[in-house]
Amino acid sequence: MTTTAPGPPEPEGVPLASATGRWVLACSVLGSGMALLDGTAVNIALPRLGRDLGASLAALQWTVNGYLLTLAGLILLGGSLGDRYGRRRVFVIGVVWFAVASAACGAARDPGLLIAARALQGVGGALLTPGSLALVQSTFRQEDRAKAVGAWSGLGGVAGAIGPFLGGYLVDGPGWRWIFYINLPVAVVVVAIALRHVPESRDRTASGRFDVPGAALAALSLAGITYALIAASGHAAWPSVVVAAAVGLGCGVTFVRTERRRPNPMLPLSVFSSRLFTSMNIVTLCLYAAIGGVFFLLPTQLQVAAGYSAVRAGLATLPVTVLMLLLSAPAGALAQRIGPRLPLTVGPLVAAGGILLLTRISPGSSSYPLDVLPAVVVQGLGMSLFVAPLTATVLASVDVDHAGVASGVNNAAARVAQLLIVAALPLAVGLSGTAYQNAHQLNAAFGKSMVICAVLCLLAALMAYLLVPTGALEQEEDQPQSARPECLTNCGFPSPPLEPGPGRERAAS
């Protein structure tokens, strides 16, 4: 039977308590949750995946970074495609794309095919991730929007909590390939709900051409630098490393020049005229690099060095997500009352302490309550303190009309940080080849890596202390409610929450 999709919502929007509102929220949460669950589960599978495919550490790095590369390079463009051609339409295309790429990941028989499929999966993620929250933001009426975004965020955090456990269960049970195959039935449900129950919406004023050159240059820059770092850690021939680094840096410089000349670029460089905005994105780079480094190596350390099963390794980090779900909203409220400087200074310091405690995990670590739990609890407390205030400070550092692009830039910074740390950390600590399968070699590299991640947190704390003003940010009082950050709970720790406000800039020109 052919169904007709509902027409555009009424100007005042859809009530959250209505049947349509519940369907829209369910569709958005399932779509974004699928991508978030997949991202957190893959790290748990890396040791088993590496053994089954005979993959080197470089191949495992690319398994993670192939996805992050296309996601980080295209996510701003993906949001703009939804604004222009229909948010539901682009979201559905992203879900289908993500599912097809997931099937290719599950069917991969060698590391090269898996990496290629992961890169394609990232393209789907770049379409559905901004689209999931854009559906909520554009569909619900103004008075229900903050509550809807909060529900989206909290339920997304639940997906982040389930991901490592589900990943471990699948790795120990039917196999790591099911981490990807499980996306297929979820995608079918999401598409069915979207086509039947979700109203279409678009920006009727959007016009002109998309900033495709900017997106391509950004992706090529990240690809060149990432390749150089991973190739260097794998002892590749130095000419290939130098050439890749030169191409990456050259594309980066060309990207900046291109964006400066375009009338409506993908990345308006004018937002960086705010010293606070620029410094907070550097803080974001430091903090999310530290987080990315921890969650890239910790599951492997637990399984290879400490002898944990995949399920136990997945459960080991659960306290981090639980604490963030419980405490991120209160931390955001506290930062609104006393200002963000104290939470953004103390939070990274506490997180650094938790990361240093992770160095106690070793081949002799048999007790989870003594060797692992204190570290993840302290780290979770620190992350809970800084995630929401960081997002709020980024948004408050620019004018209301740039609130959306500021959030997009901050998300891109977080993903780029994870991309670069996964590429650079093994090089920095001398881990390469199949050394990750040797408990003692991995343990030595893991200890050094955690020290580096803790230092990154300390640098972030120092920058926040020196550059964030004391007291509440004045702009918050001048902003209308719709421009203030609504997503104060954790959306899962891989990146800060997207906040596509009503003034979001487009990547079209």
SS (H, E, C) 25-53: HHHHHHHHHHHHHHHHHHHHHHHHHHHHH
Q: What is the dihedral of CA 315, 317, 318, 322, to 10 degrees?
A: 170
Residue 265 Ramachandran class (φ > 0 left, ψ -120 to 50 alpha, else beta)? beta
Q: In terms of DSSP H, where are the helices of 301-362?
A: 310-316, 318-338, 341-357
Task: Kindly state the tokens that stand for 441.
Answer: 């070699």
Residue 452: predicted pLDDT: 97
Residue 348: predicted pLDDT: 97
Question: Tens digits of per-residue pLDDT, 353-411?
Answer: 999 999 999 998 778 999 999 999 999 999 999 988 888 888 788 776 666 677 778 88
Whether residue 63 is predicted with pLDDT greater than 90 in this model: the reply is yes
Between 33-37, 157-161, 365-369, the lowest mean confidence (pLDDT) is in: 157-161
Question: Tens digits of per-residue pLDDT, 298-339?
Answer: 999 999 999 999 999 999 989 998 898 888 878 888 888 888
The mean per-residue pLDDT over the stretch 408-421 comes to 87
Question: Tens digits of per-residue pLDDT, 186-240?
Answer: 999 999 999 998 888 877 766 667 778 888 888 899 899 998 988 887 777 788 8
User: At a CB cut-off of 8 Å and minimum separation 6, what does 466 contact?
Assistant: none
Scan for tokens 């963000």, then name that residue: 340
User: 506 φ, ψ to 5°?
Assistant: -105, 160
Residue 246: predicted pLDDT: 94
Confidence bin at 504 (pLDDT 50/70/90): very low
Residue 404: predicted pLDDT: 64
Q: How far is CA 128 from the centre of its chain?
A: 13
Eight-class DSSP state of 507:
S
Q: Which amino acid is at 214?
A: G
Whether residue 5 is predicted with pLDDT greater than 70 in this model: the reply is no
The mean per-residue pLDDT over the stretch 93-100 comes to 96
